[in-house]
Each structure stands twice: as C-alpha cells, then as structure tokens.
Amino acid sequence: MSHSIQIKIRGYHLDFYGHVNNARYLEFLEEARWAHLEQGVDLGFWKERGLGFVVASLTINYRRPAGLGTVIEVRSHVDHLGGKSGVIHQDVVDSVTGSAIADADVTFVVVDMRTGKAVALEGEIRQQLLEPKEEAGQTPEGEGG
C-alpha cells in the first residue's frame, strides 16, 4: 500500500537560514505516516485489541533544502515486514519539480499496549499494513474511479 500527501511550506516551518528546519521533517513524515496508516488500518480493530504502532528507529537523509511556499509531497509505503517489525519508506519531493528533498526509513513495531511488548505481524495485522481497507466508494490508488 502506498500513499502521498502534500504540505505547503509556511513561515513557521523555517529556521534562521530560511529553509525548513531539520526537526520539522520529522513532523511532516509523521503526518504522512498517519495518513498512510488511516488508509489501510482499521483503528477501531487496533483499539479493541489494545494494539499500538510504535516507531523503533528512524533514519533520514536530507537531500536539498525546501523554502517558503514550496509544496512538498511526502510519499509513504511499507518497504518490508518482518516477524515483529517493519519498515515504512518515505520520500519527500518538491511537488512541482519532483526533486528529492529528503527520504527516510522508519522501523516500527506493533505493541500490545497492556504489556508494552511487540506482537507478531501476522494475520489481520499484516493484511491491514499491506492492503488498503475497502470501503464503499473507495478504490485503491492506481485504479480508476
């Protein structure tokens, strides 16, 4: 499952040098991950079972600065699912030029919120992470509709 969002760079995103502060990219990436997860994950299912999505590590590469007024696109997809952890890859690009601005690999686990321990990524959990949920009137990206 892949997903993308667009974010317009505003003054409060900028640092002293006039480009997006490195810490702001973490917020952009998080916003995109939530949008990505909401596309495929049934949050009610997770809440009923006491499951939580937890970032274990994040590696980010800054490619070029983005400035005021730039509209960025953050693209997210599940790159890998292991037994108890997975990786979401995210690309941040200039939505006009397509130039790479940053990219990140986010390693995550799904935890049992009662015990704090990672659970196996199998069955319905795995399916929800890999496939968009099918709702009336929605079609997966890339299909006409």
In whole angstroms, give the CA distance from residue 4 to residue 46.
23
Tell me, yes or no, if 15 is annotated catalytic. yes
CB atoms within 10 A of CB 13: 21
Using left for φ > 0, alpha for ψ between -120 and 50, and beta otherwise, residue 107 falls in beta
Catalytic residue among 15, 42, 79, 112: 15
C-alpha distances (whole Å) from 16 to each of 12, 22, 26, 61 are 11, 12, 18, 20
CB-based contacts of 131, cutoff 8 Å, min separation 6: 1, 40, 140
Question: Cα 19 from chain centroid?
Answer: 22
The residues annotated as belonging to the active site are 15
